[in-house]
Chains A and B, each alone.
Chain A
Amino acid sequence: MASIKQKSATQVQDFAVLPLATPATQSYPSNTTHYLYLRPNAPRAPTEDTPRELFLVNVPVDTTETHLRSLFADQLGGARVEDVEFEHARLGKGIKAPVVQTIGKKGRKRKRDSEGAVVESNGEEVGLLPEVWERELHPSGATAVVRFVDRASASLALKEARRVARAGRRVPWGTEAVEARVPALGSERYLSHHRLRFPDVAALRGSVDAFMAAFSAQEAERARAFARQRSAPDEDGFVTVTRGGRKGPAREAETKAKEEELKKREKSRIKEDFYRFQVREKKKENARDLVRGFEEDRRRVEEMRKRKGRVRPEG
């Protein structure tokens, strides 16, 4: 743990600054320092877990849960991490298949009697597509929330971090021991990504089937709900107008086409040069267009002249 050469802050606003010593690599053989900022988590809407969470800013791009576990357990007083939530976690993880339970919830708001006669809904997400990365990276300067096993561990970790920073020490990051436990970076990672992009066909089919089954169940449920709304007046005696009485999309296109047709017919009923005034108007319009076009052109040339200076044949 080398001491820090230049003067850097140990405290920024309410963040503790933890210098991390990152290892030299073959292609960039110098020891560098990365600065991690920590503070107790303070979201706008705290949950019961908030007290045992730390908020991290500027996590290294190659951070994994393993890295953070090891950081707190091995380097900062042995605080135990329960789990880590990265800010920029890929949404791909959470492709939300329509879960029947949620539909039930949504439906309940609208209708009076709860209806649960849908497929085997156990509340879990179905139809997720397979993961394509073995190890996710995080954008530079990203944040993360670390949840510790208990409140004491969280505060211990923070205290330890402040102590280390004040002492001017650097904590080693990405040690060999840690790296050995996570998937490798470099070409190996891209190769594995390439492999994962082409998942097993059967698994993929299963996932799609599950999704589609859930989706059609949801559709059916919604259609039923709409039908009910259409047929029965509500408490105040109104019948709600809902879409889907007839099959939607095809009808819509048809009406549009009809509308266009009507417009065309209207237009062609009286020819544009039938009345004298039409011809006159048209001429006037043309003349106006010409003047406008001329003014426009002159303005354009004026601008061009301003940009390019005088017109002169090239020598």
Chain B
Amino acid sequence: MSSEQEFVTPRKVPRETGATQKSLSRSARPSQSGASENSAYNSGTFKSNTFKIQVDELLAQIRPRHGARESAAENALHRLKGIIEAIPAGAPLSVDDAERGLLMSSKVVIPFMEPRPPKDAKYKLEYSKPSSINVVGSYALKTASRVEAVAAIDMLVTMPTALFQDKDFLNYRYFYKRAYYLAVIAAALQSACETEYSTRFKYHHDNPFKPIIVVAPNAHKSSSKGKTSSSKWEINILLSTSADVFPPEKLLPDRNCVRNAVDNSSEGGAIATPFYNSSIRSDMLVSSYLKLSHSAAKDCAAFVDACILGNTWLRQRGLGSDIQAGGFGLFEFSAFMALLLSGEGNLRPILGSGYSSYQLLKATLQLLATRDFSKEPLIIGSTSGNVKATGRGAPIVWDGQRQHNLLFKMTPWAYRLLRLEARTTLSMLSDQNFDGFEAAFIMRKDLDLYRYDYVVALSKGLLGPDNASPGQAPLQKYRQLYEVLERALGDRVNLISITAHRSKAWRVDYADPTQRSEGEIRVGFVINPATVHRTVDHGPPAEKKAEAAQFREFWGEKAELRRFKDGSILESLVWSAKESGQSVFEQIVRYAISKHLGERVEKDVQIAGESFARLLSGTASDTNSQGSLEAFRQFETDLRGLDGLPLSIREIVPADAQLRSTSLTSIRNQRQQIPADVVLQFEGSARWPDDLVAIQRTKIAFLLTIHSQLAGSSETATARVGLENGEHDVLNQAFLDVTYDSGASFRLRIHHDREQTLLERRLKDKALDPRTKEVAALGLAKYRRDYVKLPAFTQAIARLCSRYPALSGTIRLLKKWFASHLLDNHVADPVIEMLAARTFVQPWPWQAPSSVQTGFLRTLHWISRWDWRNEPLIVDLSGSGDLKQPEVQSIQTKFEAWRKLDPALNRVVLFCASSVDQDGTAWTDGRPQKVVAARLTALARAACAEVVDKGLDLQPASLFASPLADFDFVIHLNSDFMLNAKSSRKSNGSSAFKNLELDVDTDASRVGYQPLRDFTSEVEALFGAAVLFFSGGEERAVLAGLWQPQTADRAWKLNLGYSTIPRIGSEGEEDVRAEINREGILAEIARIGGDLVKAIEVNRR
């Protein structure tokens, strides 16, 4: 398959693609079909070449192989078959006798279901030789995946028809007889091979009607040297009966087969028992489905591969055949696909047998995603009965020929989850810029904290025993919980999903222990961020009596009748925005649970999901950033209102994190002490000088003009012209700080596009010295970054923030995380924002996060897996597909060029491109360095490991704690000089008067004063050659350092760039070595810092 020659050259492609799927004959031999699959790498049968190559490789890895464990299991199969065939037929026994007999003779407890058979039952239980014994299931079909830890083989024992009477499908009689039959087999196995194999009972796919036997090699045999691979197998002994034992029309989903003994009412009036009926049907149809799959595998070459892929896809999403795992696993998937392929009865099948495995999978997912089988059942083949949706959200896929609902085990929440996953995967696969392979088949995505915004945990015991009403599906209590929560939360959530511990196998000499209720139920929620915080819910209007009564009944005293502004009188619910720190979501969940499931349950409820967002309290909230945007608009109006400017203004654009609601430090207590950058561009004019230095001076003149005009026109604004970049006169020299009395302040710079041409010309000029060129390169990068990319970036992020409500919080939390781990001075803000934005615009394999927690954790998860050496970060910030394939290609090419140019990663380590910066290096040129990036990865990995370890007990703060022992030395800074320090602003003596204090706070002359930042950047500039500094920014008053490795002992020379000690070397007076003067440097830092430095702690000498 994977050999190179088989990939046919594209010359053949037109011929292959010209053939429609119809003309590809059904009897196509696998080899031919395989070849067409290979050649079709460019004709849509696979997403992309890369995808196909990877899928091929994956299949080669996980396709079943006949190994040691398989042959061991096959030996066992033969043995078991022999034992079972040798069991003598027994005489019919009454329930009581049968039970006692087995218990006495071989200590086997018959796994009767609840309710147990009545003592006075007239029917007899009986064993006789099985009519056949076969291997079925994934092992027989070769669709089992090799990655499973234990190879499970299904062995089917078909019970002879003669055991059952016509009416045995009623009132559990079939199941009682089945249980006895199973117990007899178990007893035989137990006595025959107890030493080698362990025999246990288990519910087949959690279906409490249908116990099975699980045979596994005894653990103690190989315990001495751990489990060898030959002992990692288990055999499931399933029971079935022939398809004609009971008439299928009696077992249609709308029939009742569990008659109530008391009122013995007629069939029609009783409640239908679809789950019970389907459970019997599924026993009758085992071999029929096996045949169906076999013929599908024969007709369609890619069927088996598609099953393996589908199974992997389901497995990585935590879905499986077990009811607790959703009731949709490999069996259902392959049977579903086989039905779609066969199109029995239908005129044309839904899937074509010429499809590739990828197409089969995708088309199946498409069907799952687009059609809602719970509203409108999917009917395959003709059907005699009338198949209707049952309501309550359970799906129906009706197999007409076999008269069976394939999805009878699925719970409503699992079905919704499955559809969501299918939808997500489809949109992922259609994302041309994303190679979805890993996300589809490799990544495990069933971890609650990544998957759900909120997780509610409650103990199973409190819900009470699962005493289902007769014949109904199990998990009735869960269904009730689900319905209560669904009704209570309404459109606040997009998904509710319930998981509990799966049922386990138990010893044959015990009664079923799983009836005892223990363990924990977890309910996961994916919220709708737009509505989850809504405080008032509108119910039905008062006039609609019935609905209003229903509403009142559900909500109890919480429901109130309210009159709204538009005159309508509605039943409504009012939630307090902040009641004892509980979110609206939590209030609703707790109220609904205590009302409908009892207060005891409510007391036990634990809700996880708020804690991450809570870490952001005290930072700029969304309303604050709204305020700063309004202030910006005011500022823009003020500027445009100036009429004495020599040139008219073309545009005024924001270029600052505070103006895209992603700043942590910005607006504390509404006092904006760091001015927000704003870029102003005038209309073009020929009167600008054509010289870089003169342009910069002209800009100062413009700023001075604006300054004087503003002073005349606005009374609430204070303006000052400030200087910057004094060391290079071709760079921007000045800015205008405008501070409003409200606290908002802006830093205005002028953008003149001629600069770019002049700088480029300088760069190309061969006559100039390298130093000047270096400055020109610096200036050009700065020009592009500050005047072109940053405004575009700001706009793009601001737009994304309004589209994704959780983005702003995610970015801020992520910034906090970076700063807490002292990476503040290494990773630029836009890079952090791009990382977070990627989680939203390319969220695969999830949907875009709807809460800060999922946004944050998924971003960390991605960082931990990011192989930055070999992969660029490419984010489409437009959010609307502006970044097309060719552009992505060119970014990729640029990335590869960088790696070729600088393989040691001395300049660009993280390559972060986006739709506004296709060069990818605007914010990562020179920083972070390789060591820092490696540390970033290590930190993210540690965080993700913590998430996996702790699960719901995760303390968010623990992800933000970073030990300082890793560093060579730690400079503890004086936190009084931090922006959020309260005491530092107090002027001496005046603190007695609150109003005076406020005046100090808004003092415009202090705006932008950040001594710790100045200190950090200065120290970096002075000692950069010797020390790698790590700054905690405004988050942590710490500056840690690592001695650079190139400062190791070396021969003395003049220009080392750091302070040295001349040591006499081993070879006498002439051999002087230069040793870095660590103490001297630390003392110098202490002197420069003065009162900014509290203490310097040395960890390693």
- A172, B963: Cα distance in complex, Å: 37
Count how many chain A residues have C-beta atoms less than 8 Å from C-beta atoms of the other chain: 87
Chain B residues within an 8 Å CB radius of A129: 723, 726, 733
Chain A: which residue is nearest B1024 at the CB level? Answer: A139
Chain B residues closer than 8 Å to A8, beta-carbon distance: 1061-1064
A residues sitting closer than 8 Å to B (CB atoms) are 6-9, 11-13, 17, 22, 24-25, 27-28, 30, 32-35, 37, 57-58, 60-62, 90-92, 95-96, 127, 129-130, 132, 137-141, 143, 174, 184-191, 193-195, 197-199, 201, 204-205, 208-209, 211-212, 215-216, 219, 247-250, 287, 290-291, 293-294, 297-298, 300-301, 303-305, 307, 310-315
* Interface contact A30-B1025, CB-CB below 8 Å: no
CB distance from A67 to the nearest CB of B (A): 12
The answer on a CB contact under 8 Å between A290 and B1088 is: no
Interface residues as binary, B1078-1101 with A (CB distance below 8 Å gives 1, 0 otherwise): 011111111111111111100000
- Determine how close the nearest CB of chain B comes to the CB of A223; give it in whole angstroms: 11
Q: Of A34, A37, A310, which is in contact with the most chain B CB atoms at under 10 Å from its CB?
A: A34
In the bound complex, residues from chain B placing their C-beta under 8 Å from that of A91 are 726-729
User: In B692-708, which residues have CB < 8 Å from any A CB?
Assistant: 693-694, 697-698, 700-701, 704, 707-708
Check if B1060 sits within 8 Å of A58, measured CB to CB.
yes
**Smallest CB separation, A71 vs chain B (Å):** 16
Can you name 27 A-B pairs with beta carbons within 8 Å? Answer: A6-B1063, A11-B1069, A11-B1072, A12-B1072, A13-B1052, A25-B1083, A25-B1090, A28-B1093, A28-B1096, A32-B1077, A58-B1059, A90-B726, A140-B1059, A140-B1084, A198-B723, A204-B704, A208-B701, A212-B697, A215-B693, A287-B13, A293-B42, A293-B49, A294-B7, A312-B58, A312-B61, A312-B62, A313-B147
Sorted from nearest, which 3 A-B pairs have the closest CB atoms? A186-B1090, A92-B726, A28-B1086
Q: B328 on the interface (CB 8 Å rule)?
A: no
* Contact among A24, A140, A198 with B1022 in the assembled complex (CB-CB below 8 Å): A140
- A32 to B1086 alpha-carbon distance, docked (Å): 12
Q: Does A187 lie within 8 Å of B1090, measured CB to CB?
A: yes
B1086 touches A211 (CB 8 A): no
B42 touching A290, Cβ below 8 Å: yes
Determine if B1090 and A184 form an interchain contact, defined as CB atoms under 8 angstroms apart.
Answer: yes
- B697 in complex: contacting residue of A7, A61, A127, CB < 8 Å: A127
CB under 8 Å from chain A, chain B span 1006-1025 = 1006, 1008-1009, 1011, 1014-1015, 1018, 1021-1023, 1025
Main secondary structure of the interface of A (DSSP, over half): mixed
Separation of A32 and B720 alpha carbons in the complex (Å):
43
CB contacts (< 8 Å) of B737 on chain A: these are 198
Nearest B residue to A302 by beta-carbon distance? B53
- Name the A residues within 8 Å of B1059 (CB-CB): 34-35, 58, 60, 140-141
Seed contacts A13-B1072, A90-B726; 18 additional CB < 8 Å A-B pairs: A8-B1061, A9-B1072, A12-B1072, A22-B1084, A27-B1095, A28-B1096, A139-B1023, A186-B1092, A190-B1092, A194-B1014, A198-B720, A201-B708, A208-B697, A287-B10, A298-B49, A311-B61, A312-B58, A313-B145
Residues of A close to B61: CB separation below 8 A:
310-312
Q: A291 to B10, Cβ gap below 8 A?
A: yes
What is the bound-complex CA distance between A201 and B48, given in angstroms?
Answer: 63
Instruction: Evaluate contact between A9 and B1064: CB separation under 8 angstroms.
Output: yes
A198 and B686 CA atoms in complex are apart in Å by: 30
**Cβ contacts under 8 Å, B690 to chain A:** 248-249
* Contact digits for B835-860, partner A, Cβ 8 Å, 1 yes 0 no: 00000000000000000000000000
A313-B312 CB under 8 A given contacts A201-B704, A201-B707: yes
Q: For the complex, is B119 an interface residue (Cβ under 8 Å from A)?
A: no
Cβ contact of A301, chosen from B53, B1026, B1079, B1083, cutoff 8 A: B53
Q: Kindly state the separation between the CA atoms of A202 and B315 in the bound complex, as whole angstroms.
A: 73
Q: Is B197 an interface residue (CB 8 A)?
A: no
**Which of A37, A58, A247, A310 counts the most chain B CB atoms within 10 A?**
A58
* B727 and A9 form a contact (CB under 8 A): no
Q: Which residue of A lies closest to B719 (CB)?
A: A201
B54 CB contacts on chain A under 8 angstroms: 301, 304, 311
Asked if B1087 and A311 sit within 8 Å, CB to CB, the answer is: no
CB pair B1089 A297 closer than 8 Å: no
- State the CA gap A139–B1085 with chains docked (Å): 11
Contacts A90-B726, A198-B722: A215 and B691 contacting too (C-beta < 8 A)? yes
Bound state CA distance, A184 and B11, in angstroms? 79
- The answer to whether the Cβ of B193 comes within 8 Å of any Cβ in the partner chain is no
Contacts of B1089 in A (CB 8 A): 27, 185-186
Contact check, A92 vs B1060: say whether CB atoms are below 8 A apart: no
**A130, A186, A191, A201, most chain B CB atoms within 10 A:** A186
Which residues of B sit under 8 angstroms from A204, Cβ to Cβ?
700, 704, 721, 734
Report chain A residues within 8 Å CB of B1072: 9, 11-13
| Residues of chain A with a CB closer than 8 A to B870's CB | 303-304, 307
With contact pairs A12-B1062, A32-B1079, A35-B1060 given, residues A197 and B724 touching in the complex (Cβ less than 8 Å): yes
Distance from B17 Cβ to chain A, minimum over Cβ atoms (Å): 12
Complex formed: what's the CA distance from A311 to B689 in Å?
61
How far apart are B731's CB and chain A's nearest CB, in angstroms? 11
Give the Cβ gap from B1094 to chain A, nearest Cβ, in Å. 6
Chain A residues with CB below 8 A from B1079, complex form: 30, 32-33
Given the complex of chains A and B, what is the CA–CA distance between A57 and B444 in angstroms?
59
User: Least Cβ distance of A97 to chain B in Å?
Assistant: 8
A30 and B1018 CA atoms in complex are apart in Å by 23
Q: Which of A205, A248, A249, A301 has the most CB of B within 10 A?
A: A301
A249 to B1058 Cα, complex, angstroms? 46
B1046 CB-CB contact with A under 8 Å: no
Task: Write out the residue numbers on chain B whose beta carbons fall within 8 Å of the beta carbon of A186.
Answer: 1088-1092
Q: How far is the CA of A27 from the CA of B1023 in the complex (A)?
A: 18
Partner of B1062, one of A35, A60, A137, A184: A35
Which A residues lie within 8 Å of B704 (CB)?
201, 204-205, 208
Known: A7-B1063, A9-B1072. A32 touches B1083 (CB 8 A): yes
Q: Is the CB of B1056 within 8 A of A141?
A: yes
A133 CB to nearest chain B CB (Å): 8
The reply on B491 being an interface residue by CB < 8 A is no
Task: Name the CB-closest residue of B to A190.
Answer: B1011
> Closest A-chain residue to B1083, C-beta based?
A32
Q: Are B724 and A185 touching (Cβ within 8 A)?
A: no
The reply to whether A57 and B1086 contact each other, CB–CB distance below 8 Å, is: no
A297 adjacent to B729 (CB under 8 Å): no
Per-residue CB proximity of B1-24 to A under 8 Å, as 1/0? 000000101110100000000000
* Measured CA separation A310–B147 after assembly (Å): 12
Q: What is the CA–CA distance of A283 and B1026 in the complex, to the nearest angstrom?
A: 59
Contact, CB under 8 Å: A137 / B50: no
Contacts of B1021 in A (CB 8 A): 139
In the complex, whether B442 has a CB less than 8 A from a CB of chain A is yes
CB distance B1090 to A185 under 8 Å?
yes
Q: How far is the CB of B886 from chain A (nearest CB, A)?
A: 12
The reply to whether A297 and B57 contact each other, CB–CB distance below 8 Å, is no
**A140–B1025 CB distance below 8 A:** yes
List chain B residues, Cβ under 8 A from A313. 58, 62, 145, 147, 312, 315-316, 441-442, 444
In whole angstroms, how far apart are the Cα atoms of A188 and B1089 in the complex? 10
Give the Cβ gap from A94 to chain B, nearest Cβ, in Å. Answer: 9
Check A130/B723 contact, CB under 8 A, given A137-B1088, A140-B1023.
yes
Contact of B1096 among A27, A62, A298 (CB under 8 A): A27
Q: With A197-B722, A291-B10, A297-B53 in contact, do A215 and B697 touch (Cβ < 8 Å)? A: yes
Is A17 touching B1062 in the complex (CB atoms < 8 A)? Answer: yes
A249 vs B756: C-alpha distance when bound (angstroms):
13
Give the residues in chain A near B708, CB-CB below 8 Å: 201
Q: B7 contacts which chain A residues (CB < 8 A)?
A: 294
Interface residue B784 (Cβ < 8 Å from any Cβ of A): no
Check B1077–A311 contact: CB distance below 8 A: no
